[in-house]
Every structure is written in C-alpha cells, then in structure tokens.
Structure 1
Amino acid sequence: MTLSGIRVVLAPAVLTMAADGRIDEAEVVQLTNMLAFSPIFLPLGGKATGDMIKAVLKDLQKSGPDKVITESAQTLSPALRETAFCFAMRVAMADGVLEESEKNVLSGTASRMQLSQESFDSIIQVVTMMQRSAAA
C-alpha cells in the first residue's frame, strides 16, 4: 500500500478526533496505540505515523472534512473503508464516552464510506463493548 493509501485509511479517525473542536490527549494516545499494532501502519513506525496524523489535520484545516472524507471513500476498497471506520470509532470512544458531535461525524462518515447498516451496527456494538469506561 502506498503512503497516500495509508493516509486515507487514517483520515476518518483524525476527522473524528477533531469533530468536537479539540483533540484530547486520550484520543491521540488511543490512535497511536491502535496504529502501532495495525499491519497497515506497522511498516511506517511511530514518527512517520505521527507525521501522517499531523498532515491529515492540516488537510482538514485546508480542505475541510467533506473533501478529506470523500477522498478516503473514493480511494479505499469496501474492506478498508470498514477498517478506517473501526479506527474512527475507537478514537471516538477513547474516553469511554461517545459524544453527540462524535456520533454525528461517525454517522456521516459511515454514510460517505457507503458502509452497510449491518457493518455500521456491528462496528458500533463491538467497539462500544471494547472501549467502555471503568465506570460502566
């Protein structure tokens, strides 16, 4: 996979991180940890992955979320759209809570990525179970 291909897998997660207007340390840590164990990002290493996150953030500021997510949806295979959405969902749940702004972004992302309702529901259900807060 090319660097630009890897970058579009990352874009929905970064968009979700930025959805509420701030990027929490817990979200950055969650995303960094996920990517460290992903076969897609493993060859890059930590520094290159961090640089890629920053580059996607710049793309969001420059071009806006619609263009960034549309590029991802048009570039990725259906299977990698699901993977990208899983990353986005896990980032949204980094603090154990799915905020309204995050729900809205995830719903729009799933729609743009043309996820089936079955895939969407499965990802939401499993990641919610995985990422519950200790207070649950």
Structure 2
Amino acid sequence: MNSLQQLGRAVKAAQYRHHLAAERALGAIGTTLPQWDALRAIAGHPGWSAHALAGETFMSDQAFGALANRLIAQGLIVRSPGRGRRVEHTLTDAGGAMLEAGNVVIDTVLQRSFGGMSEAERRTLSGLLDRVGVGDGTTTAP
C-alpha cells in the first residue's frame, strides 16, 4: 500500500472510530447519529428544503425523506407547507429535547476524540481536512 493509500485509510479509520463512538453514546439516549444530525440540521437551518437538509447531512434526498418520516413517527419533527412546493421541517418540543441531549453526548465524544490535541493542532487538522478533495469535482459538502 502506498503512502497516499495509507493516508486515505487512516482518515477513514479515524472517521469510523469517531462514528462508532458517537453511535454507541447516542444509542444510550435513544437516538442515532443520522437522527441527531438531522435534528441538528433542521434546528440550524429553519426553512431549508428537504433537498438542502439532505445535502447538509450528507444523505440522498430519498434517505433524508425516509429518515424524516421516522423522526415524524417518533414525534421529533413536523412537516408543514413552505414557499412554493417546499416542505419545511420543524422540531417539536420532544425533538428539541432530543437534540439538546444529543448535543451533550456529541460534545463528550468530540472531547474524547480531539481533547488530546492543542487548539493549534485542531485548527491545523481542520484546515487540512477542509482542503481534502477540493477541486476534484466530487465534493458534496454544503
């Protein structure tokens, strides 16, 4: 394996460890990483379309729609007509409470993941990761 492949694998391994820790911790409060991320996106971007929310959460439109249906069934969000054909998503009180609980969990996971780094190291890592894939035509980050 060449050094670029090793680097790619190291990035993927770090992401996997981080997501696994977040999934386990969020499971203890009755949610999942995709559900928490959808609640975060909805709360942070009122009035955004489902398409925009799908992009914000790195999901396809179909996957976000299915997840939104599960969140509705759990009483965590509601949908309402927006401008034009847009459907807007809003957190219920229960959704807001789940988001807040999830934020505490995620902050703990992030502290474990990155707490051993200095602020300067975190800024450097963030800057380097922001450059990965830029200009290759495949980036989908919002």
Q: TM-score range by the shorter chain?
A: 0.3 to 0.5
Compare relative contact order (CA 8 Å, sep 6+) and give the higher one, 1 or 2.
1
Higher helix fraction (1 or 2): 1
TM-score with structure 2 setting the length? 0.36
Larger radius of gyration: 2
Higher strand fraction (1 or 2): 2
